Each structure stands twice: as structure tokens, then as C-alpha cells.
Chains A and B, each alone.
Chain A
Amino acid sequence: MTFEIEIAGHVRTVSIENVGGVGPDGRFRLTIRDAANPGAEARPLTLDARPTDVGLSLLFADSGRSVDLAVTAQPNGEHFVQLPHVAVTAIVEGRRARRGGSGEASGSGEQRLMAPMPGRVVRLLVKPGDEVAPRQGLLVVEAMKMENELSTARAGRVREISVAEGQSVQAGQLLVIVE
């Protein structure tokens, strides 16, 4: 099987072959290629991967190197991989998902401010029609007892406010549209 894996904009193509044992209690051969340079020679890696209570235990066949990691998959293909000293977000089949997806209105200059976490709208700091500066606070959402002022990166005019003061919001819920 082949997967496209993207980390910080850098895409690799990974082909996986189950070469010994069966399923997760077995050994795998992986070939990783840079998607930007598919013709380059790629040396296959052989490793033993097993599920653990928190994720995967990897043992590399050549060196015996042991990597104990946790991995969490999001519905959008994002995999949050926690290595011993660092965490990395890797997107599986991100280009395919984006090609097939509805596509966000990004080119039009419209900015949609979504709730980054679930919480409660404490205060609205702007109203429709207001001109706003980059990173100007648009509203305050309280989560885990802290008030967080939310803003958009670019300047614009507030077209729509989709929530009211006191309202509870879910992560990813649309709060404000700035155009």
C-alpha cells in the first residue's frame, strides 16, 4: 500500500509491505520517497511495529533502534505523533482530501474565525460593519476558566457575527466572518 504523508508542507510517498508474521504482530518493509523527487533512489527500511497501550513500538531491523511513540488520528487525516522528545503533526493523504474537499474560501480575502476550542462566548468586542486591524480582539471566549481574546491575522471589515454573548460554542464552530 502507498500513502502520501505531509509534514509542514513537505510531502513523502511511503509504500508499505507486510513482510513477515501477520498484521500488526509482524515486520514491515517501508520505502519513503520525496514526492518532489520521485526518481531518487530510496533504500527500503525494515522494521518491526507493534501496537502498545499508547501507540506503536518500532524496532528498526538494521540498528535495533527502539522508538516508542504515541499517535492520534484526526478525522481530517492529521496524525499527531508524539515521539520521546518532540511531537509532530503528519497529514495522511492531505492533497487527495483537499482535491476532493469542498475547498475553503481563502482566495477571496474572506477570513472565517472558528472557535479553536469549546467554550463560552463571554463578550463580543466588535459588531457587523466594524473595520478591524490585524490581531485586533473580536470576541472573548472563556474555556477552562481563562478568558481568551480571539482575532484574525489580517485587517478587514466584520461581515457577520455568528454567535451571541453567553452562547456555548464547539471547537471549529464559526464565530465571525471578516472580509
Chain B
Amino acid sequence: MKVLIANRGEIAVRIIRGCRELGFDTVAVYSDADRTAPHVRLADEAHHLGPSLARESYLRIDKLVDIARRTGASLVHPGYGFLAENEEFAQACADAGLTFVGPSPKAIELMGSKTAAREVAIKAGVPVVPGTKAPFGEDAPDALLVTEAERIGFPLLVKAVAGGGGKGMRSVAKAADLLSAVRTARSEAKSAFGDAAVYFERRLIGPRHIEIQLLGDAHGTVIPFVERECSIQRRHQKVVEESPSPVLRPDVRLKLAECAARVAREVGYTNAGTIEFLVDEQQNFYFLEMNTRLQVEHPITEIVTGIDLVHWQLRIAQGERLTIDPERALTPRAHAIECRIYAEDPDLGFLPSPGLVRGLRIPNGPGVRHDGGVAAGFEVPTTYDSMLAKLITWGNTREEAVQRLGRALAEYRVVGLKTTVPFFQWLVNQPDFIDSRFDTTWLDRVLTERRGQPFVAPSAADEQDAVIAAALAAWFRAHGAAAGSPVDGRGAWRWAARMDGLR
């Protein structure tokens, strides 16, 4: 049996691995920019979708369905992002006789609309954050936007109805900033999700973002998992996730799990999904939204429970019954932390830094997992999300996991691009991080206070090492380039060739 993976990057690689472990053949798809991407090289077969622009490649439902048909794939895994939460895609797969590895089109539609999902949560008796009932379409008059915003009160969040990953979301502190925030949120949402509708939600003070992973099968069983804490966020985008939460009380964990399962049952949810909550200082919690897909941060749940979520996605899609012990899913066996490694320059306000990966050394050893989507020699495109990889470490305690993270980050080398690795090296040494004193606003606040100060400052000894390295690099280049006086050894030739390539 074959699975078509309708995605790219690290998640396509992750899914191919899961498929292969269960004995499925894998079909990758790629755009012009991704011909030599790891997911293409790893799959059993790969088919071209079109130009680099996502809407001409990874968002082309017609082409994806056609490739699935032509290759004889019987399952389609959407990953996250792109078409993962697009009910038309799920429906198109069903219409073509393909099994979509995810929930029903109806569940995607219902829970994908953030406003409708809130209604579901209210019906299931789960508390929600105060906000607007119906979404605002593109033609909603400014006066209505202002009236509704004032009814909810500031500060508030403008959120894309189809949004995710911090895209199409803006925080508004006062009425004067509302309309321009709505414009940017719409413009971002339109280009990222093809839907410009937005809604408003009250912004809670000092909240933590805590979410519950769950699996549902076609026979009515829903299994909630131990929570993930994702409060370290930059501009509403998760940067670090960990499981279990370092602060959640065990009784609240059980209540969250129970509420999450109730929401899922309310809509007859199948396959993998995540219910996100905001939790305040008193550990009151509010339903935020549901993600009807596999999450970026799913590995930490796999590590602390020992349950492979991608395996279960594939098994559930084929009609299998969930046989996971609910107790096991709710009992963490370790503490796991994930860092999202982005091609961004942390010392330049996290500006995107696409380009050629000239070298890559991936951390390894005890308690380390690396889910990556790039290889040395691959040109990171400007067209897609800038996440290169996820670095996950775990230990018996949070302290052990944090120590491992520091060790693994020091081993990590991504050559040729600026990445967020130095930022994480700074983060793991912050007392607030070490002592788990943070909420969803912590990182943005700290970054503002730092005013662009570099995350890791070199010592005098570091500077000396850098001087030596740069001088030696220049020396080798001078010698490699001098025709007729080659230096000996294969290493020298490789070096000269590489240095030549850099000029």
C-alpha cells in the first residue's frame, strides 16, 4: 500500500519514516524549489507539482489528487500547514476514493472555523475566552469592527478564522490601532490560507498556552494525552514546547484532558487533533481552538508517552480501533523539550535568512531527537516557512532535559545560514526559563527589553579563535587558488574547492 505525503520539509520526512516503519510505500511531491529536498530523496517515489509558489504547487488539490490516482496511492497524509486543515482537500480525496489521513471534511470545516469551534466548546460545557460570535468577512464595515472591538474590550487579538502558527494574528492595545491590525491580519491570512475572514478575542493577562493532544477512532473512542506547554512564543508563534507542563496541577491536567475529549466527542472527531487552552495564574482554563491535524510539536508527546502518533494516524485512517491504555497516554514517563530551529537571524530581529546550507552537523547522543527537513547542499527557499528542523531533548526531569538541550545546541552546526540556535543557547541559561516563570507574553517582553542586544556575546578567547579561523580560511583560499602550487592531500583539494565555491 502506498501513502502520498502532501507536504514538504521536516514533517514530510517525519511522515515518510512512520509510513516506512509500518511497511507502506511512500509518494512524495515537490515544487521547483524542492527537487533535491530531503523528503524527495527519502521517498520511494516523488512527483513534480509545479512552480515554487505554494498556491501553484503544495496547495494544488487537483494535482495532488491526480498524482495519488496515477501512482496508485490509497492514503493521503496532509502533514501540517498547506492543505492539512482544508476540508475541500479532504473531500476531494474522499471523492477520488482516497483515504485522507485525518478527520472528516465536516469536522475540519467545523473546528477549522475558530468561531464555530468556540460554539462547539460552549455546547460541550467547556469554558471559552470572550470574543466575537460570527467572523468578519472582507466586506465588513469599519464601523462594525470598531463597535464589536469595543464591546469585547482592549487589549484584544485579531485572529484569522482560518489561521494558525501566528499567521494572520495581531494584538491590538487600543482602538486607534484596530483597523490597521485588521488589514495586516487579513492580508497575511489571505496569502497564507486563502481566506481573509477574521474575528476578535479578548487577550487574557499572563496566560499560559497549554494544549491536549488526542486521538479518536472511527468507533467512538477518544484518547487524550498528557498536556504540552507552549507558552514560549514570539509574535504568537510557538518557539519552545515542552511536556509535561512544569506548572500544571495533576487535577487540572485531568480536567483539561476530560474537556478536550468532550469537545472531540461532540463532533465525532477521528484521527489526531489538538485542543488548545489558555490557562491563567489560578489555573482556570479556557478553550482557545482546535487544530485538526498533527502538530509541529507532536514529538514531545511521543517521547513522554512512548506512543507513535503517526503510526496511529495511519492505523486509525484504515479503520483500526485504538488500543492505547488511557492511563498510559496521561502518564508522562519523561520530560521532553522541543526547540524550533528557524532560518532566522536572532540578532537582526529574527529576520528570515534563507540560502544555501553549506554544512550541517546534527546533534546526537542520549536523549536527543532531531526532526529535520534540510540537508547540506540544499538551498532553503524563500517561499515557505523558515523552520529548518526541530531539536528535541528529554530526561527523567525537566532539569535533565534542559541540560541536554544546552549540550545538544553546542553540538549543532548549520553552516551558511543564520539560525535561531544562538537564541536557544541564550534561552536555556535564563533563570526565568530554568525556573519555568513564563507566560505567553514573556518572550516578546524580554525581547523588547533587550533592544536587539546580541544573544550570545563572544569572550576575548572566542574572538581570538575567530581571528585564527578567518585567517586560516583566507590562507587556504590563497593557496588553493594558486595554480601550479597545489597543497598536498585530498582534504586540501576539497577545501580549496569549497572555498572557491564560496567566493
Contact = CB atoms under 8 A, between A and B. Distances in A.
A144 B491 contact: no
A174 interface: no
A7 B353 CA distance: 21
Contacts, number: 186
A117 B473 contact: no
Contacts of A53: 359, 361, 376
Given A23-B486, A73-B477, 16 more contacts: A3-B475, A24-B489, A45-B468, A50-B491, A55-B415, A72-B415, A72-B416, A75-B503, A83-B458, A85-B425, A86-B458, A90-B470, A91-B470, A144-B385, A145-B167, A146-B386
Chain A interface bracket (under 10, 10 to 19, 20 to 34, 35 or more): 35 or more
Nearest to B360: A54
B473 A83 contact: no
Interface stretch (A63-71, A99-107, A126-134): A63-71
28 contacts: A1-B478, A3-B475, A10-B463, A16-B475, A23-B479, A23-B486, A25-B489, A30-B468, A50-B491, A51-B491, A51-B498, A56-B473, A58-B465, A58-B472, A67-B465, A71-B415, A73-B473, A73-B503, A82-B415, A83-B458, A83-B462, A86-B457, A86-B458, A90-B466, A90-B470, A143-B382, A146-B167, A146-B386
A36 interface: no
B183 to A, nearest CB: 9
> Looking at chain B's contact residues, is the secondary structure mostly helix, strand, loop, or mixed?
helix
A23 B187 contact: no
B494 to A, nearest CB: 7
A156 interface: no
Given A23-B489, A23-B492, A119-B382, A54 B359 contact: yes
Contact of B352 (A16, A22, A83, A146): A146
Contact of A84 (B410, B469, B495): B410
B144 interface: no
A90 B188 contact: no
Interface string B183-194: 010011001100
Interface of A: 1, 3, 5, 7, 10, 12, 14, 16, 18, 22-25, 28, 30, 32, 45, 47, 49-51, 53-56, 58, 67, 69-75, 79, 81-88, 90-93, 116-119, 122-123, 142-148
A70 B413 contact: yes
Contacts of A7: 458, 463, 466-467
> Looking at chain A's contact residues, is the secondary structure mostly helix, strand, loop, or mixed?
strand
Contact of B470 (A22, A92, A122): A92
A71 B422 contact: no
Contacts of B385: 144-145
B469 A69 contact: yes
Interface of B: 167, 184, 187-188, 191-192, 343, 348, 351-354, 358-361, 376, 382-386, 410-411, 413, 415-416, 422, 425, 456-459, 462-479, 486-489, 491-492, 494-495, 498-499, 502-503
A90 B495 contact: no
Given A16-B472, A23-B492, A72 B358 contact: yes
